[in-house]
Structure 1
Amino acid sequence: MSGRIWLSPPDVGPLEESYLLSALRSGWVAPLGPEVDAFERELARRVGVADAVALSSGTAGLHLALLALGAGPGQVVVVPTLTFVATANAVVYTGAEPVFVDCDPATGNLDPALLRQLLAELDREGRTVAAVVPVDMFGSCADYDRILPVCAEFGVPVVEDAAEALGSTRRGRAAGSFGRAGVLSFNGNKIITTSGGGMVVSDDTELVARCRHLATQARQPAVHYEHAEVGYNYRLSNLLAAIGRAQLHRLDLMVDRRRRLREKYAKLFAARPGVRLLADDDAGANCWLTVVVVDPGAAGWRAGELAAHLAGQDIETRPVWQPMHRQPVYACARALLSGAADQLFADGLALPSGSGMTESQIARTLETIDAFVEAK
């Protein structure tokens, strides 16, 4: 073996180094500055929205977007049960109650039919739903053709959790542009990274302005420090924004490399019974992570067995997100379930998908998987 193969490590190089060094030499080393301003403009242009605010994390973006929509105590926010915990945690930060809904087994994304059923139930109960937060799972956009009309029917705004989906599209429209607000993440394992960071993007300039105000400790425009409400220290560093700008220049190349890797996985598993790729027909996905779903009865092996085999060869994989209704912290939360998320958690496995994988690393991963399957 020649070193560990990671699931989705940062893909950075000379361009990022040059941008960071330029920002450092400019003297703008504190939070905010010209790199942040430029990053916001460039990212908003890429997503196709009017405005954006750069933040310290995607979680901060979810928190602020929900606050800007008025989420708070006594209200509920609908969240997919199949997601990373940050989506649910941000709801709790506002004082609202997360209510979980199951996913479409073909894509892992929020099930629109179950969403309509849940919103109808909440409406009959007289509950105030502050927002619905669909998540674009593993870089595949949710079914907004169906989700948006359902939410409009019940008068509920949408906050799109596009943390995993920058560079993805659905019917030619960019991830992050579907709701009242979209939230992106630039964590170290995402499509592009700023080490840590995130952004709220929206055509609603007043919503973005509200998020920007809250993210800077809600400071009033006074020479002295004056605050009329509680704010947060959520703004992005100027140095990190410089890295993000360099990464954004390389976004299309990095997405293309992940898509080509996904094609190799698809070819490898094409003739294997009981194996499919999650959201396999989504040509607009950025392929942040390629997830294989295994039917053990048909395949003769389990996803966990493949994970253990790859781990033995120093190749990292990861199970599909453990559903929120299975998390101890949310075990008592309300949820409308079909069993789809539980099944994907049991049978799904995310494979190494980094855009920086070398040809030898790709070959080693594919050969190791092929050897495992052939032995079964």
Structure 2
Amino acid sequence: MPPRIYLSSPHLGSLERGFVDDAFASNWIAPLGPHVDAFQEEFARCVGAPHALALSSGTAALHLALQLVGVSAGDEVLVSTLTFSASVNPIRYLGASPVFIDSERASWNMDPTLLSEELEARARSGRLPRAVVVVHLYGQCADLEPILAACDRHGVPVVEDAAEALGSTYKGRTPGTLGRVGIYSFNGNKIITTSGGGMLVSPDEELVRHALKLATQARDPAAHYQHSEIGYNYRLSNVLAAIGRGQLRVLEDRVAARRRNHDFYVRALAEVPGITFMPEAPWGRHTRWLTTLTIDPARFGANREAVRLALEREDIEARPVWKPMHLQPVFAAFERRGGEVAEELFQNGLCLPSGSNLTPDDLARVVEVVRAVHASRCRGT
């Protein structure tokens, strides 16, 4: 049997190994060290952020970001509904309540019009949220200008969840760097990885300095161990930062490879009816971290789940588009504005294998299965 094809597996090379060997040779294994410092500096330059802080995960970065823009118990936070639960869980860590905003079709990200309507309604009733979390989905930036303008009108800080969008652009800038705080993920399936890790960026030097303190158990600057606020163990290890330094150097190669994957799928499935790929919005570059499409069962002959299961039978991993947060049992009690677009994308959406280390044969296997499902349904078999 041919090997399993994964949705988005890690892609490492010799650069990473060299940096890791250096970490071992220097005995800097702790969650501090020269590779952490260098990774932060190099990442900040890469994305165009004044300040960056390397952390243990993107979730940790979002937790700190929300706390440092003032979110606390009893607050409300507006957040994209079409996302992974890690975009919402930190809101609940802080005792705040999410309010879910639907997607628009140009990018599948937060709908700026619905966001503006929700902010206006809340301003009239004296219930403005403490923050807005906008998620940049599957490697594509949300339409940030109207989102930032709507939030600025009401004095609401924007936190950008760019966990899936490193390498993408918005009008020449990097998503994650336009709001008050931005966060990134280096989980094993991301476009670059440190196996587990994240980054917090901000133009606010004091905010990042405070984030550093909180991430290191909030230890006060004293010779003895003294603490005046609650902290966390959220720092990235020097070994993982070493991996990140090597990965960062090949980011553009990884983006190019994933975009080639997407282009291959588009060409190979162009004549198959009922398949529509996630659009690339006109305001920037989509990294195609995951190649994502929707399937119209009436035209294709089968639904998204039938295709996913056919791929799985051939040992090929595919995944439904994120189930919207307002449909999740754990968040069912919270408010939302809209939701129909996200629900439709979830109902019909599928993520195909997209790793930058896929071979032409891997891609051909995926296409063969998709085509075979359509052909068999057309024949009535």
- What TM-score, normalized to structure 2? 0.96
Whether 1:348 and 2:371 are equivalent positions in the alignment is: no
Whether 1:265 and 2:253 are equivalent positions in the alignment is: no
Q: Following the alignment from structure 1 to structure 2, what is the Cα–Cα distance between the partners of residues 106 and 270? A: 20
Residue pair 2:106, 2:281 contacting (<8 A) in 1 also: no
Q: Corresponding residue for 1:256? A: 256
More deviation, 144-153/246-255: 144-153
Residue pair 1:39, 1:244 contacting (<8 A) in 2 also: yes
Q: Following the alignment from structure 2 to structure 1, what is the Cα–Cα distance between the partners of residues 187 and 279? A: 23
Q: Corresponding residue for 1:110? A: 110
Which amino acid counterpart does residue 341 of structure 2 have in structure 1? A
Counting only pairs closer than 5 Å after superposition, residues 349-364 of structure 1 correspond to structure 2 as 349-364=350-365
Supply the RMSD in Å over aligned alpha carbons. Answer: 1.3
Please list every run of 5 or more consecutive structure 1 residues that lacks an aligned counterpart in the other structure: none
Residue pair 1:83, 1:323 contacting (<8 A) in 2 also: yes
Q: Corresponding residue for 1:120? A: 120
Residue pair 1:136, 1:165 contacting (<8 A) in 2 also: yes
Q: Corresponding residue for 2:340? A: 339
Whether 1:70 and 2:70 are equivalent positions in the alignment is: yes
- Secondary structure of the 1:256 match is helix
Q: Corresponding residue for 1:132? A: 132
Note the alpha carbon deviations across 1:112-166, whole angstroms, 9 max, x for none: 1111111112222212411111100001000012211111111111100000001
Please list every run of 5 or more consecutive structure 2 residues that lacks an aligned counterpart in the other structure: none
Q: Corresponding residue for 1:44? A: 44
- Secondary structure of the 1:366 match is helix
- Superposition deviation, residue 281 in structure 1: 4.7
Counting only pairs closer than 5 Å after superposition, residues 166-177 of structure 1 correspond to structure 2 as 166-177=166-177
- Superposition deviation, residue 204 in structure 1: 1.3
- The 3 A distance-change label for structure 1 pair 169 and 317 is same
Q: Following the alignment from structure 1 to structure 2, what is the Cα–Cα distance between the partners of residues 125 and 74? A: 16
Residue pair 1:8, 1:190 contacting (<8 A) in 2 also: yes
Consecutive aligned runs of 4 or more in structure 1 exceeding 6 Å deviation: none
Counting only pairs closer than 5 Å after superposition, residues 242-321 of structure 1 correspond to structure 2 as 242-281=242-281, 284-321=285-322
Q: Following the alignment from structure 2 to structure 1, what is the Cα–Cα distance between the partners of residues 350 and 177? A: 29
Q: Following the alignment from structure 1 to structure 2, what is the Cα–Cα distance between the partners of residues 123 and 154? A: 8
Which amino acid counterpart does residue 184 of structure 1 have in structure 2? Y
Note the alpha carbon deviations across 1:33-85, whole angstroms, 9 max, x for none: 10000000000101101000000000000010111111112211111111110
Which amino acid counterpart does residue 8 of structure 1 have in structure 2? S
- Secondary structure of the 1:77 match is strand
Residue pair 2:107, 2:281 contacting (<8 A) in 1 also: no
More deviation, 361-370/18-27: 361-370
Q: Corresponding residue for 1:224? A: 224
Residue pair 1:44, 1:51 contacting (<8 A) in 2 also: yes
Note the alpha carbon deviations across 1:227-260, whole angstroms, 9 max, x for none: 0010111000000000000000111101100001
Residue pair 2:272, 2:371 contacting (<8 A) in 1 also: no
Q: Corresponding residue for 1:330? A: 331
Q: Following the alignment from structure 2 to structure 1, what is the Cα–Cα distance between the partners of residues 337 and 369? A: 39
Residue pair 1:140, 1:285 contacting (<8 A) in 2 also: yes
Q: Following the alignment from structure 1 to structure 2, what is the Cα–Cα distance between the partners of residues 270 and 358? A: 20
Q: Following the alignment from structure 1 to structure 2, what is the Cα–Cα distance between the partners of residues 113 and 235? A: 37
Residue pair 2:290, 2:352 contacting (<8 A) in 1 also: yes
Residue pair 1:254, 1:355 contacting (<8 A) in 2 also: yes
- Superposition deviation, residue 179 in structure 1: 0.7
Q: Following the alignment from structure 1 to structure 2, what is the Cα–Cα distance between the partners of residues 158 and 342? A: 24
Residue pair 1:75, 1:127 contacting (<8 A) in 2 also: no
- Superposition deviation, residue 298 in structure 1: 2.6
More deviation, 336-345/297-306: 297-306
- Superposition deviation, residue 341 in structure 1: 0.8
- Superposition deviation, residue 279 in structure 1: 2.4
Aligned residues: 376
Q: Following the alignment from structure 2 to structure 1, what is the Cα–Cα distance between the partners of residues 332 and 211? A: 31
Q: Corresponding residue for 1:238? A: 238
Residue pair 1:104, 1:340 contacting (<8 A) in 2 also: yes
Whether 1:12 and 2:12 are equivalent positions in the alignment is: yes
Which amino acid counterpart does residue 31 of structure 1 have in structure 2? P
Q: Following the alignment from structure 2 to structure 1, what is the Cα–Cα distance between the partners of residues 59 and 308? A: 29
Residue pair 1:269, 1:276 contacting (<8 A) in 2 also: no
Q: Corresponding residue for 2:90? A: 90
Whether 1:53 and 2:40 are equivalent positions in the alignment is: no
Which amino acid counterpart does residue 322 of structure 2 have in structure 1? W
- Superposition deviation, residue 105 in structure 1: 3.0
- Secondary structure of the 2:129 match is strand
Which amino acid counterpart does residue 51 of structure 1 have in structure 2? H
Q: Corresponding residue for 2:25? A: 25
Q: Following the alignment from structure 2 to structure 1, what is the Cα–Cα distance between the partners of residues 145 and 268? A: 32
Q: Following the alignment from structure 2 to structure 1, what is the Cα–Cα distance between the partners of residues 132 and 139? A: 19
- What TM-score, normalized to structure 1? 0.97
